[in-house]
Structure 1
Amino acid sequence: MGRTAQFDHDTVVRAARDVFWDRGYAETGVAELEAATGLTRSSLYHAFGSKKGVFEAVVAAYLDDVVRTRLAPLLVPDAAPTALADYLAEMRTAIASGSPRARSGCLLLNAACAPVVDDEPDVRALVVGYTAELRAGVAAGVARARADLAHDASAALAEVVASLVIAALAQARTDPGAAVRALDAASAAVRAWA
């Protein structure tokens, strides 16, 4: 009979998340995960199966704690017409603040930009699922903010806004100014789209 885990799962996942967020999936080694979590390689593998298993646990927590928390106001049935503007403004403020977490960019988009995504279909699927959730949230926000638009125009605007949000998240790490401009362009598009 195996030993029971002698660690707090959430604490370990948060520690691993910080490493993956700072270094990316491809550049993170198991030794770095050991140092950050305080667990040995065998404990990590016993608990998560592999480095990819640790990353999958990190992504699940990231989606719940960060992404879905921010998207939730866009997806509730009685979402305010200002929900999308609020979402874009909150993201803009976070990136413009220059906080360490904002300077790290988006955990999943950082992973998407690494060559490993081509070799890891499970990681690629996580990123694709994430962007689908983001696009659905933005589409719901656009529908509430611009109820005056026909379905095709609303869908086109949602695609433009989601693409600008993804661009902003991808640029937050290397060019926060460009990320802020992308979010400003997204807000302007919502107001001006005809």
Structure 2
Amino acid sequence: MGRNQAFDTAEAVRAARAVFWERGYEATALPDLERATRLSRSSIYHAFTSKRGLFDAAVDSYLDEVIRPRLRPLVGDDVAPDALDDYLRGLRDALLRGGTLPATSGCLLVNSANAPIGHEDGVAAVVAAYATELRTAMAAGVRARLPHLPADARRTLSDVCVGLVISAFALVRVDAEEAARTLDTARAVLASAVAFADGGGGTA
């Protein structure tokens, strides 16, 4: 007869997620995860198979509970014209909110992409899918704000926003103010495109 699981899996994954997010996969040891989750090593292996299995669960949790709620206004059926600017402003505020993981550790997936774990097939695929998800959301935001802008110009503008968002995630670990300025640049580029389009320069 199998043992009954006597812990909240979601809470254990969130606790592990915080450790991976702060320290990275390679720098996180099993004793760190035992302390954070309050689970024994055998319980971790029983529930998640391995440290990597727990990391994969943490990444899924990160996407579902951290990334996608912030992107949701950009991926619905009815995207508001100001949704992209609201996203950029909200992300800026989050990266400047001292003492939080976004402010001290940036993005779990961007960090992983730049670490050895990012070269592993499963993780690389998740990071690539995240980049596509982010690009799709930015494109929807640009389209909602600038529906008459030519498609190639919208694509370029959304790619610029994606690049600046990823840069901000990377920079915040060493300079939060510079990360905020990067997002200010994204908002300024978007505002300039809007002003240009409103002046007639962006009409087909």
TM-score, normalised with respect to structure 2: 0.90
**Aligned pairs for 1:147-158 within 5 A:** 147-158=147-158
- Over alpha carbons, which structure has the higher Rg? 2
Q: Which residue of 1 aligns with 2:53?
A: 53
Give the drift of 1:154.
0.2
Indicate the residue corresponding to 2:108 in structure 1.
Answer: 107
Instruction: Tell me the alpha carbon deviations over residues 130-169 of structure 1, each in whole angstroms, 9 at most, x when there is no partner.
Output: 1211111111111111113100100011001111001111
State how far apart, in whole Å, the 2-side matches of 1:123 and 1:33 are.
Answer: 19
**CA offsets per residue over residues 60-113 of structure 1, 9 Å max, x none?**
111111100000001111111000000000011111232322222111111112
Tell me, in whole angstroms, the C-alpha distance in 2 between the residues paired with 1:70 and 1:36. 26
Gaps of 5+ in 1: none
Deviation at 1:26, TM superposition (A): 1.4
Compute the displacement of 1:14 (Å).
0.9
Q: What letter corresponds to residue 80 of structure 1 in structure 2? A: A
Describe the superposition over 1:103-133 as per-residue Cα deviations: whole angstroms up to 9, x where unpaired.
2211111111212322x21112121111211
1:168 partner letter? A
Query: Does the 8 A contact of 1:146 with 1:190 survive in 2?
Result: no
Structure-2 separation of matches of 1:86 and 1:182 = 15
Match of 2:17 in 1: 17
- Within 5 Å, give how 1:15-94 maps onto structure 2: 15-94=15-94
User: What does residue 116 of structure 1 align with?
Assistant: 117
Partner secondary structure for residue 7 of structure 1: coil
Count of matched residue positions in the alignment of Structure 1 and Structure 2 = 193
Query: 2: CA distance between counterparts of 1:96 and 1:41?
Result: 36
Cα distance between partner residues in 1 of 2:176 and 2:191:
23
TM-score between both structures, scaled by the size of structure 1? 0.95
Share of identical aligned residues, percent?
Answer: 49
- Give the Cα separation in 1 of the matches to 2:98 and 2:35: 27
Match of residue 186 from structure 1: 186
In structure 2, C-alpha distance between the alignment counterparts of 1:2 and 1:163, rounded to whole Å:
48
* 3-state DSSP of counterpart to 1:97: coil
* Distance in 1 separating the partners of 2:116 and 2:64: 25
State the alpha-carbon separation in 1 of the partners of residues 141 and 169 from structure 2.
Answer: 18
- Which string of whole-angstrom CA distances, capped at 9 and with x for unpartnered residues, describes residues 41-67 of structure 1? 111111011111101111111111110
For structure 2, the 5+ residue unaligned runs are 197-204
**How far apart in 2 are the matches of 1:175 and 1:32?**
27
Secondary structure in 1 matching 2:87: helix
Taking the aligned partners of 1:30 and 1:53, their CA distance within structure 2 comes to 12
